[in-house]
Structures are given as structure tokens and as C-alpha cells.
Amino acid sequence: MNIATLNWGDLTPELFLAQYWQKKPLLIKQAFKGFEDTITADELAGLAMETEIESRIVSDNNHGDWQVDHGPFEDFSQYGESNWTLLVQAVNNWSGPTNNLLTPFSFIPRWRIDDVMVSFSTPNGGVGAHLDQYDVFIIQGSGKRRWQVGAPNNNLSTLLPHPDLKQVSAFEPLIDEITEAGDLLYIPPNHPHNGVSIENSVNFSVGFQAPSSQELWSSFADKLIDNNLGEQRFSDATRQVTTASTLISKDDQQQLKAFMLEQLDNTEMFEQFIGQYLTQSHHALELLMPVTDIDEEKLADILSEPEILFMPVSGLKAAIIDESKTTLFLNGDIFHIDEQTLSLAKLLAGQTPLTTNQVKSFNTCLKNTQLLTSVLNKGYWYIE
């Protein structure tokens, strides 16, 4: 199955961005022809048994008496045959085929994508009508589900049928369809939606990240503090006499604001901050550190074997800052690069597996060897 092809029908990514992205919900029937689940229900249940993986089961067995249980789960027998959904976060960090579901969405930068949440729902299972603050593409996997999506509406009331479950009151749907394997639903932020399973059904939700202003400011402040970069003090050598000593003048306010903004205008620091912030995974990654560090000599040894593949760990978020191109960011970690290492850095960021021959060609330059070994030693890439 070639998952990389998204059949847009009459649309194109450009038209989608102009007409739907952050504006209107959309259902594309058969966007992925011949779609097959990238993970089985049993494998999903296995992930929900792991402590480092976030999972929950939402059930509504007594019609209106919603329950939420949080993983890790030991067994699922108590939930019966219907009225519940298992939701597992960041499945793409643990399942390579699920991570490949991100490829069709690479018309949007990788940093904007958060993770792939996978749900398994039994008949009548769902989390109820609700809003999300983030854009989401939901791919229908096996089974059928009725999806309803409405427009933002301030008259909807918030319901809290369980302390861990926020829902909204009934809404007028703009989309009301039964989705089948390969259908793709796009839901912009704050659009009420409700998915109710018709039969056992698997959904893959490609969720986006949109940092809030307060999250950005708070992380930026952390960066300043951690690196002792904000220790300079306000100065005002050109101060004039004031006749209103209790006022904080407009001019003083402007100067203080400018003093603060100087930090944001420090390009090098801003690039480091934003690259680290946007590539940091919000969920555990399966880092694959070598038992002992790989140095140049050991890498040469490894490369004497012909059929080695160098692979990124699943779900890794990577980026290179445009223009300056002095840093490769992997999961919030900084790797300094220059003209000589840029080609390798692009491949590492692009996350295409590298063959022995490719690595050998880079290995003629010591800086490339050092970049690759440090990425391997941190466990972001591994040798298969």
C-alpha cells in the first residue's frame, strides 16, 4: 500500500490551505485508497499496557454515565463488547508504519505536527461531542464510524460528565457521514465534533501543535534563565528631569519594552530557542542508545559490513533553521552544523534511512563523522 499518496480529488494542498485549513471541516472520501491499519487492535492494546505511553479508555456503558480510566492497563475484559473507546497518544513514536502516516501531510512543516493518536472503538464507542484546540486530520482505518462535525458556536454549553472528560452540548452538524477505511476527515480547532462507532473501528488522528503565547513566553524565559542570558540591567543615561515623580511615563514604558524586546531580537538566541522548543517531543520516544559510545574507529568498523542501514527512531521531530542553517535540532537537542555538514544534516532531518554507501561517502569528512556519531550516541538514530 502506498500511503504516501493522498488523493485530493478536486482539491490540491494549495486549495486545501486556502479554503479549509483553520477555516472549515472537510471529509475526503477514499483519500487513501486500499488503506490498511498500520497497527492492529492487539498491538494497540499492548502499547496501552506500557507505563511510558499515555492511554485512556472512555466508556459509556450506562448511557450518560461516562467513565474515564487511564493506562497503563492490565486487561481489557471488563469493558465488554461495546460502548467504549481506547485512545493511545503518540503511537507514531512506537510504530514506524504509523509514523509514515505523517508523510502525506508534509505540505505542512513537520514542526507543526504533534503526533498520531490512535483509537480503537467498539460499537457505539466514542468520547462524546467535544472541541479540540488543535487542528486534526482523522484517517478512518478498519471499521465504520459516524462522524459529525459542526461550526464553532458560542451558544454550545460545556459539559463535564466526568472530571476527565470535557464535552459540549448537541450541535448542528455541517458534516454527518459514515466514514470507511481510507476516508480522511479534517477538523479545524474549536469545531464541535463527535465520532460514534458503528462497529469495531480504528481511527488515526494526526494532531497538530499550536503553542500558546504564554507557553512560548514561559519557555523563552526558561531559556534566558537556564543560560544566564538575561542578566544585563536597564540603563537610562539620557534621563531628563521629571515633574511627576509618581508616574511611569510613556517614554519609560517604551524604553522598558524595547529593553525586553532586545532579547527576542537576538537572532541567534531566538533561533536556538524556537528550534529546541518546536522539535521537543511531548511524549516519550523510544531512544536507542548504543551500549557503548560509537567513536570514529568503531564507525569505520561498522561500515566494513556492506548492508547496514542507519535509521531514525520513530516519531523523532527534526528541523533545520532556514537561512542561517547553523543548527540541526533533533528532539530539542542542538547539533551545530556548517557548510560541510549541511548535506548530511538535511538527510538526518529528513529522516530517510541511510545506507552504508551513503554514510561512507560522508565519512570522508571528519565533521560529518562527528555529527553522525553524536546523533547515534544520543540514540536519535540507530544502526539496524
Contacts with ligand SIN by CB under 6 A lie at 85, 87, 119, 121, 126-127, 132, 136, 193, 195, 203, 205
Pick between residue 44 and residue 337 the one whose CB is nearest to Co ion: 44
Q: How many alpha carbons lie under 13 Å from residue 206 in its C-beta half-sphere?
A: 22
CB under 5 to 8 A by kind: which of ligand SIN, Co ion, none does 195 bind?
A: ligand SIN
Taking residue 244's Cβ as centre, other Cβ atoms within 10 Å add up to 7
> Taking CB under 5 A as the rule, does residue 177 contact Co ion?
no
**What sign results for the dihedral spanned by CA atoms 278, 280, 281, 285?**
positive
Pick between residue 93 and residue 121 the one whose CB is nearest to ligand SIN: 121
What CA–CA distance (Å, rounded) separates 296 from 312?
A: 19
The residue from 132, 177, 199, 252 that contacts Co ion (CB under 5 A) is 132
Query: At its nearest, how many Å lie between ligand SIN and the CB of residue 118?
Result: 8
Pick between residue 69 and residue 132 the one whose CB is nearest to ligand SIN: 132
Query: At its nearest, how many Å lie between Co ion and the CB of residue 11?
Result: 22
Query: At its nearest, how many Å lie between ligand SIN and the CB of residue 190?
Result: 12
CB under 5 to 8 A by kind: which of ligand SIN, Co ion, none does 85 bind?
A: ligand SIN
Length of the chain: 384
Pick between residue 133 and residue 304 the one whose CB is nearest to Co ion: 133
- Radius of gyration for the chain, computed over Cα atoms and rounded to the nearest angstrom: 25
Pick between residue 16 and residue 134 the one whose CB is nearest to Co ion: 134
What CA–CA distance (Å, rounded) separates 195 from 197?
A: 6
Q: Alpha carbon of 231 to those of 98, 194, 257: distances in Å?
A: 45, 50, 16
DSSP state of 227: T
> Taking CB under 5 A as the rule, does residue 166 contact Co ion?
no
Alpha helices in the chain (DSSP H): 13-19, 41-47, 96-99, 213-226, 250-265, 267-279, 296-302, 342-350, 356-362, 366-377
Pick between residue 190 and residue 326 the one whose CB is nearest to ligand SIN: 190
> Taking CB under 5 A as the rule, does residue 180 contact Co ion?
no
Query: At its nearest, how many Å lie between Co ion and the CB of residue 114?
Result: 13
Are 202 and 35 contacting, i.e. CB atoms less than 8 angstroms apart? no
Q: Which residue is nearest to ligand SIN (CB)?
A: 119
Residues that bind Co ion in the complex, under the rule CB under 5 A: 132
